[in-house]
Structure 1
């Protein structure tokens, strides 16, 4: 079974009431997720999260910390996937649909609607209001100081 690391970014708008979501094209229909994707060889988790967000949405982000980690055994593709979800902050860029072959749309979705698509252990509103973040360490050095 292959081990796969996948990163996602939870990014709120300025009001804190909407979450950035992408609508992916899938073999069994389209589905919404947070921006993100597979970590490439030689890439840190942080680098992957920043790259995937830029590639999928056109937005530049800074990482604020890890919100949660979960995993799944995906038997049909023989993968053990580890999902790391970061909280990010928008620092620039404009929304751009640069991968129309993979992504149908990019939307700011209200929190209640987004929660239906994100498999997380808590409500987004709680995560945002409590500001609970796990420090992220990059190759033994502190990547972010709190």
Structure 2
């Protein structure tokens, strides 16, 4: 299986009642995720998160700590995926779909509804309400 790292960003609206979600066009029906995507070779997790949000939504973001880390074995793709979800803040830009062949919609979704799409495992419901993070530490390249 090929290892794939994916960086997502959890972005709240000004009142912290909604989360920014994107509707992705897949091989089957479209589906919601947080904005984000695969980390490219030589790119840090944070760089990938910021780039992917810009590509998918048109927004500039600052990324803070890590909200969650998860993993999945996607047998049909032959991928072992590690999902890194950061908490971020919108610092500029305007919502704009740059890749309409990949992204169908960018929308604000209430927290409870959004939680269904962000890979929160059973027993961790409500985690999104806490907004807890751990630090992201980038060690210098040697």
Structure 2: gaps of 5 or more residues: none
For 2:49, what is the secondary structure of its paired residue?
helix
Offset of residue 22 of structure 1: 0.3
For 1:76, what is the secondary structure of its paired residue?
coil
* Aligned position for 1:144: none
For 1:114, what is the secondary structure of its paired residue?
helix
* Aligned position for 2:15: 15
Going from structure 1 to structure 2, the CA distance change for 1:17 and 1:76 (only over 3 Å counts) comes to same
Offset of residue 104 of structure 1: 0.5
Within 5 Å, give how 1:1-146 maps onto structure 2: 1-121=1-121, 122-123=124-125, 126-128=127-129, 130-140=130-140
In 1: Cα distance, 2:35 partner to 2:60 partner = 12
Q: Which moved more, 1:94-103 or 1:131-140?
A: 131-140
Going from structure 1 to structure 2, the CA distance change for 1:32 and 1:131 (only over 3 Å counts) comes to closer
For 1:8, what is the secondary structure of its paired residue?
strand
Moved over 4 A (4+): none
In 1: Cα distance, 2:46 partner to 2:125 partner = 23
In 2: Cα distance, 1:75 partner to 1:131 partner = 31
In 2: Cα distance, 1:72 partner to 1:48 partner = 19
In 2: Cα distance, 1:131 partner to 1:34 partner = 15
In 1: Cα distance, 2:138 partner to 2:84 partner = 14
Cα deviation 1:37-82 (Å, max 9, x = unaligned): 0000000000000000001001111111001100011111111100
Structure 1: gaps of 5 or more residues: 142-146
TM-score by length of 2: 0.92
Offset of residue 117 of structure 1: 1.7
